[in-house]
Amino acid sequence: MYEIKLERIDDNRWLLPQTGGMRVPGIIYANEKIRQLLKGDESTRQVANVAHLPGIVNYSLAMPDVHWGYGFPIGGVAAFDLEGGIVSPGGVGYDINCGCRLIATNLTLDDVRDRLANLTTALYQQIPSGVGSTGAVKLSGKDQKKVLEDGAKWAVKAGFGTPADLETTEDGGAMEGADPEQVSARALERGKQQLGTLGSGNHFLEIEVVQEIFDETAARIFGLRKGQINIMIHSGSRGLGYQICDDYLALMVKHSQKTGIDLPDRQLACSYLDSQRGRNYLAAMACGANYAWANRQLLMHQTQAVFEKSLHLSPRELGMRLVYDVCHNIAKIETFNIQGKMKKLCVHRKGATRAFPAGHDAVPQQYKSVGQPVLIPGDMGSGSYVLVGQEKAMQETFGSACHGAGRVMSRTQATKVSQGRSISRELADQGVLVMASSKGTLREEMPEAYKNVNDVVQVMHDSGIATKVAKLKSLACIKG
């Protein structure tokens, strides 16, 4: 495979020229350091492949955390016209609405320092994690249908949270258009016992402390202050979402010749947005998204219970509240100004997060004066960033930013490189407690397997897509 030549636009953007069957050019957000990491990486080829798809608007985009994925690159963003455009499960990903939830507390580092080990152990014991883990909530068929339709709203109504949580959850925690009839029996079966579980791989629950404030105004409005203890939860739709993706990919591959779409990679299997198959996928995908929001809502509820019991605090003393919940893997119908006309587009964000600016209708009322919080977790040793969306994102990236640090090693490579090492001990030496059900997970997820999150975030900040508000340092992490 020959290397695609990139042309520099500016210090943070590179042009992938339109060639061959590409319908639009590509743009990759990266500084020189990140561009060097992309040399020989198949994700650049995938950006070009996405540009072949019908109805794509403006550019095939990649955020600075871009790396190889199924069909679309992880960190890829592409918008498609509702007329003549497509929807692709590979452009959403297997873990539908994998996302992050940032939770603030009244606590400071001094409040938990001496009890951090016991708190971490309690979280590990009480929060189900790992491959095949099951939760305390067992869903009946009727309840499961309501979860798929109502998402986090179902969880709050069932007593797992408060209405205030929904106000700071993307889409209010429930995506419109969900139709459980479009979800297979196999997917439903996989989802019955996994609600309220963390999962495995790169999913985590972290205790973090606000280390640095960059934007005092936005931080104050988000309720963040230096030295404050926060929790970051990263999880998604578990086996249900995976099965939805798998089912529709198989269906679209099977019928790919009937669409008449010439695909450079069969992993880009897709259907036209105005086709029955395309509509069915969007309805099933919305079910997966809603399940994920309900899942993170339950995880937050369980986390609050562990904090209160372990630290002997009342809810008022703990002061736990949701700052924001964003999804990463999704396709959404949204409106943008395209060459002076407002148009509805289907925006695929795969390993990318929404980054809407101040005043946007979708931004929670309490954040409208500054913009939407953008949550960017790093590797286990580095912590996370909170950014805020800017108007430039609407002009350049369909209101999108990066979603994390982004891998530079495959899981197989990371396992090989970390042979004979104790990742948990190395992290403990850095002041980060880690508990995981598998040493293999820690090796796959070791810090060196990821780009430096500081570099990735700086590209978003310097490009004006989403600007830095706060940096959070990892204190403890539980993983599957």
Active-site residue flag, 461: no
**Could you give the CA distance from residue 147 to residue 101 in angstroms, rounded to a whole number?**
18
Q: How far is CA 346 from the centre of its chain?
A: 18
> Per 3-state DSSP, what percentage of the chain is helix, strand, and coil (rounded to 5)?
40, 25, 35
Which residues share a beta bridge with 373? 388
Structural tokens at position 461: 């900040």
Q: What count of Cα atoms within 13 Å lies in the side-chain half-sphere of residue 415?
A: 9
DSSP 325: E
The enclosing H or E element of 457 equals helix 453-463
* Widest CA span in the chain: 64
Quick check: 118 and 435 in contact, CB under 8 A? no
| Closest C-alpha to 240, from 141, 101, 130, 96 | 96
Residue 101's nearest CA partner among 53, 60, 161 is: 161
Which of 130, 3, 69 shows the shortest CA–CA distance to 352? 69
* Six-digit token string for 86: 């497509």
Question: Parallel, antiparallel, or unpaired for β 466-479 and 384-389?
Answer: antiparallel
Q: Which residue in the list 203, 234, 348, 403 is annotated as catalytic?
A: 403
Task: Write the secondary structure of 165-222 as one string of H (helix), E (strand) and C (coil).
Answer: HHHCEHHHHCCCCCCHHHCCHHHHHHHCCCCCCCCCCCCEEEEEEEEEECCHHHHHHH
Strands 466-479 and 433-436: parallel
Is residue 198 within 8 Å of 79, Cβ to Cβ? no
Which residues are designated catalytic?
Answer: 403
